[in-house]
Structure 1
Amino acid sequence: MKYRDLIEKMTLEEKASLMSGKDFWQTMDIERLGINSMFLADGPHGIRKQAEAADHLGLNESLPATCFPTAATIANSWNEQLGQTIGDYLGQEAVSQQVNVLLGPGINMKRNPLCGRNFEYFSEDPYLAGKMAASYIKGIQSHGISACVKHFAVNNQEERRMSIDTIVDERTLREIYLTAFEIAIKEGKTKTVMSAYNMLNGAYTNENIHLMREILRDEWGYEGVVVTDWGGSNDRVAGLIAGNELEMPTTSGETNQEIIQAIKAGKIEEELLDENVDRLLDLIFTTEVVFKEPSIDFDFDLEKHHMLAQKAAEESIVLLKNEDNILPLKKGVKVATIGDFAQKARYQGAGSSIVNPTKLDNTLDELERSEFVNIGFEPGFERYGKKNQSKVDQACVLAKKADVVLLYIGLDEVTEAEGLDRSSMSIPENQVELLHALYEVNENIVVVLSCGSVVEMPWINKVKGLVHGYLSGQAGAKAILRVLSGEVNPSGKLAETYPIHYADTPSYHQFPGKEVSVEYREGIFIGYRYYDTANKEVLFPFGYGLSYTTFKYDTININKDGVTFTITNTGHVVGMEAAQLYIGCKSDKIWRAKKELKGFTKVFLKPGETKTVTIPFDDKAFRYFNVKTNKWEIEEADYSIMIGASSSDIRLESSLFVEGTNAPIPYENNKLPSYYSGQAHQISVEEFENLLGYRVPVSTWDRTKPLGYNDTIAQCQYAKGALARFAFKLMTFSHWFLRKIGKRETANLIMMSVYHMPFRGIARMTGGIINMPMLDGILMIVNGKFFKGLNHVIKERKKLRKVAKRKVALD
Structure 2
Amino acid sequence: MKLSKLFISSLIICSAGVINASVPVYLDDSKPLEERVEDALSRMTLQEKIDIIHAQSKFSAPGVPRLGIAELWCTDGPMGVRPEVLWDEWEQASWTNDSCTAFPSLTCLAATWNPEMAALYGKSIGEEARFRNKAVLLGPGINIYRTPLCGRNFEYMGEDPFLSGKMATEYVKGVQSNGVAVCVKHFALNNNEINRHTSNPIVDDRTLYEIYLPAFKMAATDGDAWSFMGGYNLFRGEHASYNPILMNDILKGEWGWDGAVISDWGAVHDTETAVKGGLDMEFGSWTNGLTNGVSNAYDNYWLANPYLNGIKSGKFSEDELNDKVRRVLRLTFRTTMNRNRPWGSMGSDEHKAACRQIGGEGIVLLKNKGNILPLDPAKVKKIAVIGENAIKMMTVGGGSSSLKAAYEITPLQGLKNRLGKDFEIVYERGYVGDTLGEYNGVRTNQDLRDFRSVEELREAAVNAARNADVVLYFGGLNKADHNDAEDSDRLSMNLPYEQNELIEALAKVNKNLVVVNISGTGVAMPWVNKVPAILQAWYLGNETGNTIADVISGDVNPSGKLPYTYYANLMQCGAHKMGEYPGTPAKDKFGNDIFDMPYNEGIYVGYRFIDKNKLKPTFPFGHGLSYTTFTYGDASVDKKKGGLNDVFTVTVPVTNSGDRAGSEIVELYISDPKSSVDRPVKELKGFKKLALAPGETKTATFTISKDDLSFFDADRHEWVCEPGAFEVLIGASSADIRTKAGFTVE
1:798 aligns with none
Contact 1:87 1:140 in 2 (8 A): yes
Cα separation, partners in 2 of 1:408 and 1:120, compared to 1, 3 Å: same
Q: Structure 2 matches for 1:526-565, cutoff 5 A?
A: 526-559=605-638, 560-565=647-652
Q: How many residues align?
A: 657
Partner of 2:592 in structure 1?
none
The 1-side partners of 2:407 and 2:197 are apart by: 35
Give the equivalent residue in structure 1 for 2:473: 407
Residue in 2 that maps onto 1:29? 63
Gaps of 5+ in 2: 1-33, 289-297, 436-451, 586-594, 639-646
TM-aligned CA deviation for residue 288 of structure 1 = 1.2
Write the distance in 2 (CA, Å) between the matches of 1:506 and 1:59. Answer: 45
1:770 corresponds to which residue? Answer: none
| Greater Cα shift, 610-619 or 642-651 | 610-619
Aligned partner of 1:321: which letter? K
Structure 1 residue 621, shift from structure 2 partner? 0.7
2:205 aligned with 1:170: yes
Once the two structures are superposed, what CA deviation does each residue of 1:73-110 show, in whole Å capped at 9, x if it has no partner?
Answer: 11110000110011000111011100100011000000
Counterpart in the other structure of 2:6: none
Q: Is contact 1:346-1:451 (8 Å) kept?
A: no
Q: Give the AA of the match of 1:303.
A: D
1:244, 1:423 → 2: CA distance? 34
Q: Does 1:280 align with 2:280?
A: no
Residue-by-residue CA offset, 1:604-642 (whole Å, 9 max, x unaligned)? 000000011211124531111101111111122211111
Work out the CA distance in 2 between the residues paired with 1:29 and 1:289: 11
Give 1:14-413 correspondences, 5 Å limit: 14-52=48-86, 63-249=98-284, 251=288, 252-254=298-300, 255=302, 256-290=304-338, 292=339, 297=343, 299-300=345-346, 302-331=348-377, 333=380, 334-346=382-394, 350-371=398-419, 372-384=422-434, 388-413=454-479
Contact 1:498 1:540 in 2 (8 A): yes
Amino acid at match of 2:261: V
Match status 1:522 vs 2:601: yes
SS in 2 for 1:330: coil
- Label 1:194 to 1:379 Cα distance change in 2 as closer, same or farther (>3 A): same
Q: What CA distance in whole angstroms lies between the structure 2 residues aligned with 1:58 and 1:154?
A: 32
SS in structure 2 at match of 1:507: helix
Greater share of residues in helix: 1
1:350 shift after superposition = 0.5
Q: How far apart, in 1, do the equivalents of 2:734 and 2:620 lie?
A: 6
Write the distance in 1 (CA, Å) between the matches of 2:523 and 2:332.
Answer: 43
Q: Secondary structure at the match of 1:260?
A: helix
Deviation at 1:533, TM superposition (A): 1.6
Correspondence for 2:664: 577
Alpha-carbon separation, structure 2, partners of 1:491 and 1:556? 22
SS in 1 for 2:75: strand
The structure-2 alpha-carbon separation of the partners of 1:428 and 1:366, relative to structure 1 and needing over 3 Å to count, comes to same
Task: For 1:413, give the aligned amino acid.
Answer: K
Alpha-carbon deviations, 1:500-533, whole Å to 9, x = none?
Answer: 1112211114211253211101100010011012
Give secondary structure in 2 for the equivalent of 1:156: coil
Matched residue type, 2:114: N
Aligned ranges for residues 684-703 of structure 1 at < 5 Å?
Answer: none
Q: Which residue of structure 2 aligns with residue 705 of structure 1?
A: none
Offset at residue 397 of structure 1 (A) = 1.8
**2 CA distance for matches of 1:513 and 1:50?**
37
SS across alignment from 2:157: coil
User: In the alignment, which residue of structure 1 is the partner of 2:566?
Assistant: 498
Q: Which moved more, 1:587-596 or 1:371-380?
A: 371-380
Contact kept in structure 2, 1:315 and 1:491, CA below 8 Å: yes
Aligned counterparts of 2:575 and 2:256: Cα–Cα separation in 1: 33
* Structure 2 residue 688 is matched with structure 1 residue 601: yes
Deviation at 1:387, TM superposition (A): 5.8
Distance 2:142 2:731 in 1: 24
1:413–1:645 CA distance, 2 compared to 1 (3 A): same
> Per the alignment, in what secondary structure is the counterpart of residue 538 of structure 1?
coil
Q: Are the counterparts in 1 of residues 58 and 87 from structure 2 also a CA contact under 8 Å?
A: no
Asked if 1:632 is matched to 2:719, the reply is yes
User: Structure 1 residue 365: deviation in Å?
Assistant: 2.5
Distance 1:207 1:343, change over 3 A: closer
Residue 513 of structure 1 corresponds to 583
Q: TM-score, normalised by structure 2?
A: 0.85
Structure 2 match to 1:735:
none
CA deviation after TM superposition for structure 1 residue 57, in Å = 11
Q: Report the 3-state secondary structure (helix = DSSP H, G, I; strand = E; otherwise coil) of the residue aligned with 1:510.
A: coil
- What is the CA-CA distance between 1:301 and the residue it aligns to? 5.3
**C-alpha separation between the residues in 2 aligned to 1:48 and 1:536?**
41
Distance in 2 (CA, whole Å) between partners of 1:506 and 1:374 is: 46
Q: Which residue of 1 aligns with 2:438?
A: none
* Identical residues among aligned pairs (%): 39
CA–CA distance in 2 between the matches of 1:259 and 1:369? 59
Which residues in structure 2 correspond to 1:668-683 (within 5 Å)? none
Deviations 1:335-369 (A, max 9, x none): 11111111224467610001211221133333333
Q: Mean Cα displacement is larger for which, 630-639 or 614-623?
A: 614-623
Match of 1:428 in 2: 496
Question: Which amino acid is the alignment partner of residue 250 of structure 2?
Answer: I
Task: Map residues 739-754 of structure 1 onto 2, 5 A cutoff.
Answer: none
CA contact (8 A) 1:73 1:472 kept: yes
Contact residue 349 and residue 416 of structure 1 kept, 8 A: no
Taking structure 1 as the reference length, the TM-score comes to: 0.78
Please tell me the residue identity of whatever aligns with 2:280: E
Q: Is the 8 A contact 1:73 1:317 kept in 2?
A: yes
Cα 1:380–1:648 change in 2 (3 A) is: same
Aligned equivalents of 2:706, 2:312: Cα separation in 1: 46
Go from structure 1 to structure 2 and tell me whether the alpha carbon gap of 1:531 and 1:308 turns closer, same or farther (over 3 Å shift). Answer: same
- Partner deviation per Cα, 1:217-272 (whole Å, 9 max, x = no partner): 11101000000000011223322223211000353112212212222232321111
Partner amino acid for 1:374?
E
- 1:456 aligned counterpart, secondary structure: coil
Q: CA RMSD in A?
A: 2.0
| 2-structure distance, mates of 1:44, 1:161 | 19
Structure 1 contact 110–124 (Cα < 8 Å) conserved: yes
Name the aligned partner's letter for residue 411 of structure 1.
Answer: L
Query: Which segment drifts farther, 301-310 or 63-72?
Result: 301-310
Rounded to whole Å, the distance in 1 between the matches of 2:610 and 2:93 is: 39
SS in 2 for 1:135: helix
Kept in 2: contact 1:447–1:463 (CA 8 A):
yes
The CA distance in 2 between the partners of 1:392 and 1:469, in whole Å, is 23
Change (3 A) 1:340 1:175: same
Note if contact 2:85-2:92 (Cα within 8 Å) is conserved in structure 1: no
Secondary structure in structure 2 of the residue aligned to 1:253: helix
**Residues 475-503 of structure 1: CA distance to partner in whole angstroms, max 9, x if unpaired?**
12111111111111110000000111112
SS at 1:190's partner residue? coil
Between 478-487 and 60-69, report the one with greater CA deviation. 60-69
Give the equivalent residue in structure 1 for 2:517: 449
1:4 to 14, 35, 38: 38
